Chains A and B, each alone.
Chain A
Amino acid sequence: KAGVTQTPRYLIKTRGQQVTLSCSPISGHRSVSWYQQTPGQGLQFLFEYFSETQRNKGNFPGRFSGRQFSNSRSEMNVSTLELGDSALYLCASSLAGTGLSPLHFGNGTRLTVT
């Protein structure tokens, strides 16, 4: 079974631009979560989608948004990029989408904002 796939692996953007990151979950997994990982803040929850519905959202500004498609693939978008948005963005899928269901992570997209 293929794992969680995130594309692209690396991105370099300029302040003020916007970016879209993609995540393909493990086949059969209906829940997709997004996390931001930085050296200073660690792993912070962005949002979680289950069957195309956003069920939970972390404490991030409205510039961060996401969506999930009917095939469970998910995208997240960051508009008006700031230097502080430089981070590793991790996507994780799970079967049941509860806090008890193990998360399967992709290798991440490393975003650098200059």
Chain B
Amino acid sequence: AQSVTQLDSQVPVFEEAPVELRCNYSSSVSVYLFWYVQYPNQGLQLLLKYLSGSTLVKGINGFEAEFNKSQTSFHLRKPSVHISDTAEYFCALPFGNEKLTFGTGTRLTIIP
């Protein structure tokens, strides 16, 4: 079975500090991974995706993620966070051909 695990439900970080949001996956087939962000009172939007090629993937708003096959991880990072990054972040894995399986989400809180 395919699944994603987000170990941290909440991550508080001081403004301008770096952050890493963790995601581990389990899959018996080719791996494709996504990170989505949900700002308060909004739907989700795509941050970045890994389909193939370079294991370091750059996304919007200064975020990047690194695909690590040996550790079955796809952690999301940003070197310096801003208040506007306050949101919930979801790691996702395609399941079958038509849907995504989402992790339980990590709520990122930026402390001024």
B contact residues, range? 20 to 34
- Contacts A6-B43, A45-B99 aside, 19 further interface pairs with beta carbons under 8 A come to A33-B99, A35-B102, A43-B102, A45-B95, A45-B101, A56-B97, A56-B98, A56-B99, A90-B44, A97-B98, A99-B99, A100-B51, A102-B49, A103-B36, A104-B45, A105-B44, A105-B45, A106-B43, A108-B43
| A56 close to B102 (CB less than 8 A) | no
B41 within 8 A of A: yes
Compute how far the CA of A103 lies from the CA of B102 in the bound complex, rounded to whole angstroms.
12
Q: Which residue of the partner chain, among B43, B49, B94, B97, contacts A105 with CB atoms under 8 Å?
A: B43
Q: Which residue of the partner chain, among B42, B46, B98, B100, contacts A107 with CB atoms under 8 Å?
A: B42
Closest to B44 in A: A105
| A98 close to B43 (CB less than 8 A) | no
Contact bitstring B79-110, A, C-beta under 8 A = 1, else 0: 00000000000100011111111111100000
Q: Is the interface of A mostly helix, strand, loop or mixed?
A: strand
Residues of A within 8 A of B (CB): 4, 6, 31, 33, 35, 42-43, 45, 48, 50, 55-56, 58, 90, 92, 97-100, 102-108
